[in-house]
């Protein structure tokens, strides 16, 4: 019976692993989920727009924003809390990283340029 219990445990792990994999696939291939570019604003004013397919690095308001492998993250910052640096990389539409002390907001977008219908 002990052996049976052991198998039961492994089955659970298998199910959990399968679920995690399915969930991962779901998130990776979510239609329209992947962002194409990010907008960096400083004090509410756009200072940069970065394509996620092009690795780059910019500095805005003491925050160094880096794009790498289709993700954007804060590489370093001179803010005291470093919450933006600790934030996990963003690559999905609508996600954002905020640095409150430096008033820098990084938001990911996909599809059409939001500038086009921003003021309607
Ligand atoms: Zn910060």
Residue pLDDT, tens place only, 59-88: 999 999 999 999 999 999 999 999 999 999
C-alpha span between 73 and 85 (Å, rounded):
7
Domains of the chain: total: 2
Assign residue 54 the CATH number of its domain.
2.60.320.10
* Ligand 1 center from residue 77 Cα (angstroms): 6
Same domain, 101 and 62: yes
Residue pLDDT, tens place only, 14-45: 888 888 888 876 655 554 589 999 999 999 99
The conformation of residue 89, written as its DSSP 8-state character, comes to: P
Same domain, 11 and 41: no
pLDDT band at 8 (very low <50, low <70, confident <90, very high): low
* Ligand 1 center from residue 33 Cα (angstroms): 25
* Ligand 1 center from residue 73 Cα (angstroms): 11
* Ligand 1 center from residue 28 Cα (angstroms): 27
Kindly report whether the global pTM for this prediction surpasses the value 0.85.
no
Question: For the chain, how far is it from start to end, CA to CA, in angstroms?
Answer: 69
Same domain, 1 and 53: no
C-alpha span between 36 and 108 (Å, rounded):
7
């Amino acid at each position: 019976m002990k052996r049976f219990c052991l198998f039961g445990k492994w089955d659970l792990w298998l199910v959990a692993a399968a679920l995690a994999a399915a969930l991962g696939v779901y998130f990776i291939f979510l239609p329209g989920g992947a962002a194409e570019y990010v907008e960096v604003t400083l004090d509410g004013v756009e200072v940069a727009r970065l394509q996620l397919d092009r690795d780059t690095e910019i500095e805005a308001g003491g925050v160094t924003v880096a794009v790498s492998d289709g993700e954007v993250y804060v590489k370093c910052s001179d803010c005291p809390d470093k919450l933006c640096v600790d934030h996990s990389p963003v690559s999905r539409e609508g996600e954002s990283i905020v640095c409150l002390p430096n008033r820098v907001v990084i938001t990911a977008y996909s599809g059409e340029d939001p500038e086009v219908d921003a003021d309607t």
